[in-house]
């Protein structure tokens, strides 16, 4: 795909996030967001699946402040490939932010140390866009990488549809570091919650090996806010493994197929899934503090 044949520009985020209906605990963290642009300064990879609108670091911190979030985690998006510079520049001088980078499988220890010093605390592996075969994980490449990042307390974050991996927990048995799954395991609501992959995900969480982000319900359904058919999966995760859950905005909601949500509404949806105040504090404060190496509040 040439520069002149890029996919159409994605819808921009809502610039006016409203205050949540429920107060946000001190030290809360949005564990999943991206920054993009300016587009003429940070070039996208040639064959990206989408063209994001600018979503600048100042826009992101404005959203965090509007929601009452003290901390955030930026995740490297696929359209930048392994060039993490836009994310790293956004994190510079922002101790409230951490990052999840995309790196080559053979990345050296010196680069890991450099990224760690800049606030990176994990690596992302996108299985959705980069196919390795039906139900297969590139474990021959991932395990050596995980061994190199383990001394730094990092984890591997997967973007994958867990329902496509019937033996997920067996594949990841003995994996050297914790694993994180975005978007409630990224199981379309049409698949339900009885797939072997989703059950394997629950076992990994209950065994203390996996974390799951309560993010992007709109990526699992074609229904509109409040995405009622996502409730079943969310409530199972909350009931079975709240100690291994995180919340994230998925800001700025790129490549969304339904109406652009307001981030205040998305947070209110989370509070409906997790009505217990102490459990919300665990998911918003305690769990991300541990996983992303934030100072104790």
Active site positions, annotated? 250
**Residue 272 contacts residue 21 (beta carbons within 8 Å):** no
In whole angstroms, what is the distance from residue 41 CA to residue 36 CA?
Answer: 10
Q: Determine how many CB atoms are found less than 10 A away from the CB of residue 33.
A: 26
**Which tokens in the block code for residue 180?**
């994180």
Instruction: Please name the residues in contact with 41: beta carbons below 8 A apart, sequence gap of 6 or more.
Output: none
Sequence-ordered list of residues with C-beta below 8 angstroms from that of 21, at least 6 positions apart, any chain: 264, 268, 271
Contact between 29 and 70 under an 8 Å Cβ cutoff? The reply is yes
């Amino acid at each position: 795909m040439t520069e002149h044949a890029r996919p159409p520009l994605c819808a921009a985020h809502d610039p006016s996030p409203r205050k949540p209906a429920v107060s946000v605990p001190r030290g809360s963290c949005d564990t999943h967001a991206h920054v993009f642009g300016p587009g003429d300064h940070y070039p996208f990879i040639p064959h990206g699946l989408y063209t994001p609108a600018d979503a600048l670091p100042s826009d992101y911190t404005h959203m965090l402040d509007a929601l009452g979030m003290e901390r955030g985690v930026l995740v490297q998006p696929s359209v930048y490939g392994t060039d993490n510079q836009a994310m790293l520049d956004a994190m510079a001088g922002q101790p409230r932010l951490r990052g999840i980078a995309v790196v080559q499988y053979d990345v050296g220890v010196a680069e890991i140390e450099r990224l760690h010093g800049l606030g990176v605390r994990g690596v992302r592996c996108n299985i959705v866009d980069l196919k390795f075969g039906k139900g297969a994980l590139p474990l021959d490449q991932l395990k050596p990488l995980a061994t190199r990042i383990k001394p730094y307390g990092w984890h591997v974050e997967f973007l994958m549809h867990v329902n496509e991996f019937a033996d997920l927990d067996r594949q990841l048995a003995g994996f050297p570091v914790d694993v994180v799954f975005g978007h409630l395991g990224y199981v379309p609501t049409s698949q339900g919650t009885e797939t072997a992959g989703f059950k394997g995900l629950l076992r990994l969480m209950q065994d203390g090996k996996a974390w799951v982000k309560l993010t992007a319900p709109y990526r699992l359904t074609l229904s509109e806010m409040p995405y009622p058919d996502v409730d079943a999966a969310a409530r199972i995760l909350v009931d079975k493994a709240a100690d291994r859950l995180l919340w994230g905005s998925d800001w700025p909601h790129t490549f969304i197929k339904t109406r652009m949500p307001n981030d205040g509404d998305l947070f209110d949806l989370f509070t409906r899934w997790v009505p217990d105040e102490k459990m919300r504090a665990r998911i918003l404060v305690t769990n991300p503090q541990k996983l992303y190496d934030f100072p104790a509040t």
